[in-house]
Structure 1
Amino acid sequence: MEFKIDAIETPALTKAQLSELLFEQIGLNKREAKDMVEAFFDVIGQRLIEGDEVKISGFGNFQIRTKAARPGRNPRTGESIPIGPRRVAVFHASAKLKEQLHEAVAADAQTPMAVAPAEVRRGAEVD
């Protein structure tokens, strides 16, 4: 099943937009769609909090990494400050997703540019 996301107006895909896509393209009612999206992200978040890796086939892996304490610096004052240890979430795209991205970039490279030549963009006159 393929979702069409032509109606997205922002550069980021939001949970509300995901819910709307489930409503429009799958036929779930709006409440079910919202609940499904919330439950999906709750499960992923909870598993990451527990320290588990989350693997989504064909998309990628989410992992938790523990970063060690390190010295830091306040950029405004130059004062040295310690940065404590912390856990961060990292994402690694799957080979399938990387290939899809590569194909999309290659297709874009073959499409003629809709932007004027550099001379026109810089304000030079063109005959």
Structure 2
Amino acid sequence: MFDALLVQRPATSVGLGRHESNRRVQGRTRMIRSELIQKIADDNPHLFRRDVERIVNTVFDEIIDAMARGNRVELRGFGAFSVKRRDARTGRNPRTGDAVDVEEKHVPFFKTGKLLRDRLNGDA
């Protein structure tokens, strides 16, 4: 199922869809949620698209909810989602150079799994 996330097509200026040019990153296009849903629905014709959409949204919602509770979510072979805490610090306003207090915050973090890393590097 997660193989769909690894699909990346070369982006060219010819024949781009309406929003395609907005999704180009370093010569590649990003897969958006609706494309993931469509890919899974196409690969599983016995499932209705609305059911696939509900499943994908439920998976993402559960990952988000677990991370909001401070839990780590591990998908074997794919990677692990976690939350990292950044301490409060004194930053600098780049425009004026003035010191600015930056509050403590929590940021999402993703660490790739070995299978995904190997696949991206052509080892699998």
Common fold by TM > 0.5: yes
1:19 counterpart = 2:48: no
Change (3 A) 1:31 1:70: same
By how many angstroms is 1:59 displaced?
0.6
Whole-Å separation in 2 of the counterparts to 1:101 and 1:36: 26
Question: Residue 15 of structure 2 corresponds to which residue in structure 1?
Answer: none
User: More displaced, 31-40 or 9-18?
Assistant: 9-18
- SS of equivalent residue, structure 1 residue 45: helix
TM-score, structure 1 as length reference: 0.73
- SS of equivalent residue, structure 1 residue 103: coil
Check conservation: 2:79, 2:116, Cα contact below 8 A. yes
Which contiguous aligned blocks of 4+ residues in structure 1 show a shift greater than 2 angstroms? 1-10
Check conservation: 1:3, 1:25, Cα contact below 8 A. no
Change (3 A) 1:22 1:89: same
Partner AA of 2:61 in structure 1 = D
Question: Residue 36 of structure 1 corresponds to which residue in structure 2?
Answer: 55
Pick from 50, 61, 71 the counterpart of residue 90 of structure 2: 71
By how many angstroms is 1:7 displaced?
7.5
Change (3 A) 1:6 1:83: closer
Q: Which runs of 5+ in 1 are unaligned?
A: 105-127
Question: Residue 84 of structure 1 corresponds to which residue in structure 2?
Answer: 103
Check conservation: 1:60, 1:94, Cα contact below 8 A. yes
Q: Considering only aligned residues, what root-mean-square deviation do their CA atoms show, in Å?
A: 2.3
Pick from 72, 80, 84 the counterpart of residue 61 of structure 1: 80
Count of residue pairs the alignment pairs up = 104
Q: Percent identity?
A: 27
TM-score, structure 2 as length reference: 0.74
Check conservation: 2:79, 2:110, Cα contact below 8 A. yes
Whole-Å separation in 2 of the counterparts to 1:2 and 1:62: 15
Whole-Å separation in 1 of the counterparts to 2:35 and 2:62: 19
